[in-house]
Amino acid sequence: MTMTENTIYQDRVTLRLIQFAVVWAVVAMTAGVYLAAELIWPTIDFGQFWLSFGRLRPLHTNGIVFGFGVSALMATAFYSVQRTSHVTLFSPRLAWFCCYAWQLTVLLGGLSLLAGWNTTKEYAELEWPFDIAIAVVWICFAVVFFGTIATRKIRPIYISNWFYGALIIVIAMLHIVNNLALPVSLNKSYSLYAGAQDAVVQWWYGHNAVGFLLTGGFLGMVYYFLPKHAGRPIWSYRLSVVAFWAFVYSYIWAGPHHLHYNSIPEWVQSLGMVMSIVLLAPSWATLINGVMTVSTAWEKLRTDPALKFIVLSLAFYGLATFEGPMMAIRSVNVVSHFTDWTIGHVHSGALGWNAMITYGTFYFMVPRLVGRELYSTRLANIHFWMALAGTMLYIIAMWAAGVSQGLLWLSVDQLGELSFDFKDIMSSMTPYYLLRLVAGLVFLGGTVLMAYNLFMTMKGREPVAVTPPPVAPAFGVAS
């Protein structure tokens, strides 16, 4: 094949998105560590509103989900959709627009949160100007992704693209519906929904943002990068397709488990609970598929830090997707809700699953993209153990704190009065919060090591030229 600009995979935008994702990881995790410290020493906001917990916390979550997570998902989606379609990106200029417009939106949105602009909807805190900007960039992302699929040279659409496609379609739907609002000024709007309906719509959005962005999108990463890195096809392709349809069909119903014992109909709560338990099946189908794929490549785990991260992320994925359905059971939720157990659960997914699969994927992609060995395998191995130690410490501390809180809050004396004062319970949490702070510092330290390692690997390099191989006649698309 003659190598022209039109036949070379467009990897420059992928590399830039990886750089942005790494920067967001460091920034947003630093905010998280500071927040952990504020929960122990509340006065370290120094009386500054922008440093207060209420303003810094949404910066932490938005920075991780939209800055780090979405940048990583865009990078890996652009990388894999070209390769699995045997064609270059549809409209590279639009892909560059997505890259920079997204960073600008998240950056200005983050600053607006520090300034106190906030819709008060969790994970949807950004005010209406940013909601519109997000919708515009997301639609452009959809055009690039589905345009590449539409112009593909290979007939089958590989399974990772189904997951990325579901991510793009469902997040667009959730974002637009949940953020419908009436603006009254540049920095204030009122939701079109009220009361219990607002809560149901918000958690339909909130849970499925977790489902389709932090789970579905990252499963797309697993299905492409795990077989590629292990050098073996996915263990059961049929199982992956069944898992995909079961996943999209079940997940969308599970949101009401966030509203147990709230003022919404009991049958809605029950439906959310049942569908959350059903979700265990597709989640673990992927887990089994992933572990079986790597089961014939165990020897690579000794020497390959990228594969270590990917395999460990699967273990945490299995843990988090077991814990989630258990916490959705109402009798368990009565203990866990509003406690630090939930924070532990979220971080077993965010640190153990999302961050580790992304780290493994970046360690795999960057050396291949720039055609150079990783700057330091030793640093990557140190990072692996820091990430594992940080995650384990974090979730153990939060489990212990959360279960204690839940049981102490429910404890009543013979007269039916609360046995423990809320303030005393929270004061007794300090040792757990100190452990969480240490865990956060260790995890952040590992991420800084990765940032240094990856930037040294990329330093002074441009992406190497890679083109699609010839397509087998049986799979070719008639042109």
Interacting residue ranges for other proteins, rule: CB under 8 A: 1, 3, 9, 80, 83-84, 86, 154, 156, 158, 160, 224-225, 227-228, 231-234, 237-238, 241-242, 245-246, 249-250, 266-267, 270-271, 274-275, 278, 464-469, 472, 474-475
CA distance 434 to 112: 30
- Is the CB of 270 or the CB of 376 nearer to other proteins? 270
Please, which residue, 46 or 267, has the CB nearer to other proteins?
267
Residue 167 to residue 165: CA distance in whole angstroms: 5
Q: Which is nearer to other proteins, 224 or 359 (CB)?
A: 224
**Closest residue by Cα to residue 422 from 434, 410, 414:** 410
Write down the least CB distance from residue 39 to other proteins, Å.
Answer: 39
H/E stretch holding 181 reads: strand 181-185
By beta-carbon proximity to other proteins, the closer residue of 262 and 467 is 467
Nearest-approach distance from CB 311 to other proteins, in angstroms = 17
In the complex with other proteins, which residue's Cβ is closer, 238 or 423?
Answer: 238
CA distances from 200 to 117, 205, 216, 299, 449 (A): 23, 9, 21, 48, 41
Q: CB-side exposure of 307: number of CA atoms within 13 Å?
A: 21
Q: Could you tell me the smallest distance in angstroms from the CB atom of residue 399 to other proteins?
A: 30
Question: In this complex, which beta carbon is closest to other proteins, that of residue 60 or of residue 152?
Answer: 152
Which one, 271 or 438, has the nearer CB to other proteins?
271
Residues 51/132/208/180 CA torsion (nearest 10 deg): 100
Q: Which residue in the block uniquely carries the two structure tokens 């979405």?
A: 70
Q: Which is nearer to other proteins, 244 or 359 (CB)?
A: 244
Please tell me the distance from the alpha carbon of residue 295 to that of residue 306, in angstroms, as a whole number: 16
Rounded least distance, CB 155 to other proteins, Å: 9
Strand partners, 412: 418
CA–CA gap between residue 429 and residue 419 (Å, rounded)? 17
Burial string for 332-351 (b: 16+ CB within 10 Å, else e) reads bbebbbebbbbbbbbbbbbb
CA 249 to chain centre: 20
- Tell me how far, at minimum, the Cβ of 84 lies from other proteins, in Å: 5
Report which of 455, 451, 449, 444 is spatially closest to residue 60, judged by C-alpha positions: 444
Q: How far is the CB of 253 from other proteins (least distance, A)?
A: 9
